[in-house]
Structure 1
Amino acid sequence: MRASSRPVVVPGRHQAPPPAVAKAPLWLTATFLACALAAVRVVLVSVVPYDRAVGLFDDDAFYYFGVARRLAEGAGSTFNGIDLTNGYHPLWLLLLVPVFAVAHGHAALVVVTCLSSVVVIVCARFIDRVGAHTGRPVLVAVAAAPLLLLGATGPAFFFSGMETGLLLLAVCWLGATYVRTDGFTAPDFGVVRARSAGVLMGLVVLARLDAVFPMVLLGLLAALTWRRAGRRWVLLTVSLAVWPAVLLSGYVVVNLVGFGTPAPVSGQAKALGGSGFNLDVVGQFASAPVLFGRGTWLGALAVVVVVVALVFPVSERLDVAARFGAVVLAGGVLTVGYYALTSSWQLWPWYFSAAPTALVFALPAVLARFATRVPVRVLAASVVALLVLAAAAVNGVRVAGGGVQRAAFIEAGPAVAARVDRLLPLGVPIAVGDRAGSLGYHLTRPLVHLEGLVNSAEYLDALRGGRVNRFLARRGVALYGRGDAEPGAPDPANPGCVRFAEPAQGAGAKASVVVCDRDLVLNDPIEDGTSYRVWRYRTELNP
């Protein structure tokens, strides 16, 4: 007898649907909290001086802003106006291009913050849908508090100007769909719904390309579930995978045609020199994300919570949500493991969003075992909401007030760029490695990025082949800048000169840049104890 003729037993549907419950009070929803956090951020970015507003974004966000502005001006996908680059995640950049087509200067930062506000509010709305589908809206809102707190403070997943907020929106949208359809096993989940879920999975990957890891896990879990349930698992699996395959294939083709490389140069630059296993990033995952300069250890907590939620089931829909949280966390572990194997670079806060996201889906199942009294839940949730809002407001005011070490060099970008633009010869390119985002965005002269994150595939070939100085000479680079306190190594062949290794990050291929004390034309101290220094770049010293 064929499997399709047997009664269909769908895992997770052995219990009655969750009882209807009253909706959570408005002030205890993730959406309400997200609206409050967004209002605080928009006001801060709007009212503080421009250099302080700049400090409310990550330095790498200005790589996005620079490319988006060039695209809006019709100059192509380039950060410096010279080299074409694909060093970004595509979906967020596409959303930024219209922003920089209509807004400039301080107004552009305000509009980006408004766009980020829409992203966080919609993301929170999907989180509340998870609460409604599980019948535990208050518990889900409480579980979302760490994500919303870290989304508006610390690493600022939602408001840093990076792609992470869009990734979280897509993941929570997909998670709400997964819970609503009982883990893609509802009776009405057929080919059409599988294709729709596949579109969401494709958007997740386009929002951040390394999200392919949790999406592959989710696809495998769905296929296994369908097979065990006697569903037409091959047809459903193909339907689920078709749109992610189409979207990623299109992305690869665009890269090959437009940039001569199938993958983003930012990822390739970080992979140069990867060997062995980088244990540091594993420790980062366990202790991250960082809040107010200290590790939250949400990575380790999320592992415990997910295991407990899976081992001790509570109710049908909560268990489905916990499974999705496990997929998100496992995907985050695989992502970090991939970078530990392939890159020697340090990972930054936006790499560690998997843990707080997994808690949104898995923590309610754990809390449900203890939170049995409604008044206690409401009181606890109210306190959590107030603490999140207060922490976000305090952190925003603290950063906007200046002097925060993390933001000091970003805030210095506009003023330093103005001084660099006045250096002779006017308009010629400058080469800079680390800390080039805010500086390069505010320059009117081209900046050649020595880390390669927003440079070209040609630059990476030059870096691998030891031809970086020739690459710079062909572009007419006449200045070299750094944003640190590194003294450099004395150059034996040229007294009074020092040698710097670029890029500073990682243990991969390096270029050697020689500059001399007599050629130092700018030394601008920064509040974090470092300084922006600029030397005249001499091709005769850097053949």
Structure 2
Amino acid sequence: MIARNILEHGESSALLGTPTNGYHPLWMIVVTMYGSVFGFGLMGLRIFETLLFALALVILIRALEIRSFMYALLVTVGFHVIFFGWMVSGMEISLLLPLVCLFQGLMLRPDWRAGWIGTIGLLLSACAVIGTRLDAAFFVIPILLFAPLGLTRKSLVLAGLVAAAVAYTSVNLALFDTALPISGSVKSLGAPTLNTGYLEQLETAFSGLPSTFLVGDPFVTPFITAGIGICCLVIGLLPSLRNQQEFRATRGILLGATIGFLAYSAKLVFGSSWRVWFWYGYPSIFFLIPILAILHSQFGTYRIAKAVSLIAIAGLMYVNRYVIAPDQNRSERIPQNAAFYEMVEKDIGDGPVAMGDRAGTFGWMHPHGLFQLEGLVNDVAYFALLERSGNVRATLCARGIRKVVDYEPNLGRYERHDIAVLRPFLTSFGGPFLTVYGDEEVARMKNDPNTFGLIEEADSTIYLWKLDCDR
């Protein structure tokens, strides 16, 4: 949606005239470039993401110097089970995986980072990882600090990162009046706080062990891989292993990743008021690569290890086929949004639409602009309104936005209803309400479980209202 507006109108916005930087910059650049050549069809994007996944595997297998077909197959199947479901979702994790493989491959392979070309490669890959997912800086910077790179090379790479950060924040301030993405500011509303929603997600995921780990649960996997990584780090400090080349190469990565994970987790627990989504499990990547490097270096020549690899491949394929695949049959908002848009397209007309949670697909289908009520892809002025719990209805009317779409319970007959702009299920920050009236309702569509799957009663019905701004 934003990439389409960049291409067609030269404006970074979900709604023309409402500039936003609510995205990770490099992923937006890549999506925009891809769309300029191939368009934004869903199937084409899935193929592109699959190719990125294949590229990550090629980089990883070459970085670890895996020459055994069995180990290569194990890495491929394992990564497919853990990461592939995350990657074909149109999110930045698609690009992050091959970039982290490249960044850590440069760390693991001295021949890859030799000379000035290697130093430039380290700088560019570090910038690319952070540009794809800004909070990956929690991992990249400590890994660089603890990696065996030499003081001069570390200083050059870190100085380059600082220069890139200054350039990025300066452009943001000039174009959007904010140094960092507005989406991050929205998710930090109310901080410092205790993010009870995220803690509940962790409790649910850990209570399902070990099955949640076996299916690559994004809430459990980072903690499990971090624990394994810390064990490898401790083992690598044993006198008999301390000076082995393989452990010298991975010790800095694991130590930096551990420190980064502690900072990242603290940010989610105390610096955010929002629940998280599956792609927040990406820290697994930073641990899994050095763990594979150690395992391959220590056991890659043993015949029994190859037999274990074959058993592991069979187990992972079984999990993927009989555990993960059936779970994919869950409720889908995309077809429900599509069905409702087809029903109300004439009623909406060619004006913009305001919508909060699940607005992405609806906004994509409606080419006349989306005002994102949660503020994740909105502007600084609207963020200030959310922060002070201001009058959302008056703001919509002042901006010429009359149509509002939202998921709510079945309201039956009602005179007035207050929409929670920031849904209590998603965030502990209260936020403002948007008042709508029964006589402003244009249409509603109740979920059909046989068509769209089981959906919570609180979201059972999707509505369209047309605001009477003279009210």
TM-score w.r.t. the length of structure 2 is 0.83
- In the alignment, the residues of structure 2 paired with residue 322 and residue 363 of structure 1 have an alpha-carbon distance, to the nearest angstrom, of 13
Q: Identify which of 80, 83, 89 aligns with 1:148.
A: 80
Q: Identify which of 363, 369, 376 aligns with 1:446.
A: 369
Structure 1 residues 507 and 540, CA, compared in 2 at 3 Å: closer, same or farther?
Answer: farther
Deviations 1:87-135 (A, max 9, x none): 1111111111133234456xx21221222122111111121123217x8
| Correspondence 1:127 to 2:50 | no
User: What amino acid sits opposite 2:441 in the alignment?
Assistant: L
| Correspondence 1:501 to 2:433 | no
Structure 1 residues 170 and 294, CA, compared in 2 at 3 Å: closer, same or farther?
Answer: closer
Where does residue 516 of structure 1 map in the other structure?
Answer: 437
- In the alignment, the residues of structure 1 paired with residue 322 and residue 381 of structure 2 have an alpha-carbon distance, to the nearest angstrom, of 45
Equivalent positions of 1:245-256 (< 5 A) are: 245-256=162-173
Deviations 1:152-183 (A, max 9, x none): 23xx2x2111001211211110111101129x
Give SS of 2:2's match: helix
Where does residue 230 of structure 2 map in the other structure?
Answer: 307
Give SS of 1:483's match: strand
Structure 1 residues 243 and 131, CA, compared in 2 at 3 Å: closer, same or farther?
Answer: same
Equivalent positions of 1:305-344 (< 5 A) are: 305-313=228-236, 314=241, 315-318=244-247, 320-321=249-250, 323-344=252-273
Structure 1 residues 353 and 283, CA, compared in 2 at 3 Å: closer, same or farther?
Answer: farther
Equivalent positions of 1:254-265 (< 5 A) are: 254-265=171-182
| Correspondence 1:525 to 2:446 | yes
| Correspondence 1:380 to 2:314 | no
Displacement of 1:389 = 5.3
- In the alignment, the residues of structure 1 paired with residue 184 and residue 94 of structure 2 have an alpha-carbon distance, to the nearest angstrom, of 19
TM-align CA RMSD: 3.3
CA contact (8 A) 2:215 2:320 kept: no
Q: Percent identity?
A: 21
| Correspondence 1:422 to 2:346 | yes
Where does residue 209 of structure 2 map in the other structure?
Answer: none
Equivalent positions of 1:87-486 (< 5 A) are: 87-104=22-39, 108-132=41-65, 142=74, 145-153=77-85, 156=86, 158-181=87-110, 189=114, 193-222=118-147, 225=148, 233=151, 235-278=152-195, 280-281=197-198, 284=201, 287=205, 297-313=220-236, 314=241, 315-318=244-247, 320-321=249-250, 323-363=252-292, 365=294, 371=299, 374-386=302-314, 388=316, 404-405=330-331, 408-423=332-347, 426-465=349-388, 466-485=390-409
User: What amino acid sits opposite 1:96 in the alignment?
Assistant: V
- In the alignment, the residues of structure 2 paired with residue 216 and residue 170 of structure 1 have an alpha-carbon distance, to the nearest angstrom, of 15
User: What amino acid sits opposite 2:422 in the alignment?
Assistant: P
- In the alignment, the residues of structure 1 paired with residue 222 and residue 143 of structure 2 have an alpha-carbon distance, to the nearest angstrom, of 20
Structure 1 residues 274 and 181, CA, compared in 2 at 3 Å: closer, same or farther?
Answer: same
User: What amino acid sits opposite 2:25 in the alignment?
Assistant: P
Deviations 1:276-315 (A, max 9, x none): 2225535656848777696773233223311221121254
- In the alignment, the residues of structure 2 paired with residue 347 and residue 433 of structure 1 have an alpha-carbon distance, to the nearest angstrom, of 16
Structure 1 residues 70 and 354, CA, compared in 2 at 3 Å: closer, same or farther?
Answer: same
**Unpaired runs of at least 5, structure 1:** 1-65
Structure 1 residues 440 and 121, CA, compared in 2 at 3 Å: closer, same or farther?
Answer: same
Give SS of 2:14's match: coil
CA contact (8 A) 1:274 1:507 kept: no
TM-score w.r.t. the length of structure 1 is 0.73
Deviations 1:216-238 (A, max 9, x none): 2123214xx56xxxx5x2x3332
Structure 1 residues 291 and 350, CA, compared in 2 at 3 Å: closer, same or farther?
Answer: farther
**Unpaired runs of at least 5, structure 2:** 207-211
- In the alignment, the residues of structure 2 paired with residue 533 and residue 211 of structure 1 have an alpha-carbon distance, to the nearest angstrom, of 38
Deviations 1:52-83 (A, max 9, x none): xxxxxxxxxxxxxx111122223411112341
User: What amino acid sits opposite 1:238 in the alignment?
Assistant: S
Structure 1 residues 455 and 202, CA, compared in 2 at 3 Å: closer, same or farther?
Answer: same
Structure 1 residues 111 and 243, CA, compared in 2 at 3 Å: closer, same or farther?
Answer: farther
CA contact (8 A) 1:322 1:363 kept: no
User: What amino acid sits opposite 1:206 in the alignment?
Assistant: G
CA contact (8 A) 1:73 1:101 kept: no
Structure 1 residues 147 and 292, CA, compared in 2 at 3 Å: closer, same or farther?
Answer: closer
Structure 1 residues 165 and 421, CA, compared in 2 at 3 Å: closer, same or farther?
Answer: same
Structure 1 residues 297 and 339, CA, compared in 2 at 3 Å: closer, same or farther?
Answer: closer
- In the alignment, the residues of structure 1 paired with residue 231 and residue 110 of structure 2 have an alpha-carbon distance, to the nearest angstrom, of 23
Where does residue 72 of structure 1 map in the other structure?
Answer: 7
Give SS of 1:522's match: strand
- In the alignment, the residues of structure 2 paired with residue 213 and residue 147 of structure 1 have an alpha-carbon distance, to the nearest angstrom, of 23
Structure 1 residues 204 and 372, CA, compared in 2 at 3 Å: closer, same or farther?
Answer: closer
User: What amino acid sits opposite 2:179 in the alignment?
Assistant: P
- In the alignment, the residues of structure 2 paired with residue 296 and residue 274 of structure 1 have an alpha-carbon distance, to the nearest angstrom, of 21
User: What amino acid sits opposite 2:82 in the alignment?
Assistant: L
CA contact (8 A) 2:83 2:216 kept: no
CA contact (8 A) 2:197 2:427 kept: no
Structure 1 residues 290 and 386, CA, compared in 2 at 3 Å: closer, same or farther?
Answer: closer
Displacement of 1:364 = 5.1
Structure 1 residues 209 and 535, CA, compared in 2 at 3 Å: closer, same or farther?
Answer: same
User: What amino acid sits opposite 1:221 in the alignment?
Assistant: F
Give SS of 2:436's match: strand
Displacement of 1:199 = 1.8
Structure 1 residues 132 and 294, CA, compared in 2 at 3 Å: closer, same or farther?
Answer: closer
CA contact (8 A) 1:309 1:319 kept: no
- In the alignment, the residues of structure 1 paired with residue 27 and residue 435 of structure 2 have an alpha-carbon distance, to the nearest angstrom, of 37
CA contact (8 A) 2:442 2:465 kept: yes
| Correspondence 1:536 to 2:466 | yes
- In the alignment, the residues of structure 2 paired with residue 323 and residue 283 of structure 1 have an alpha-carbon distance, to the nearest angstrom, of 32
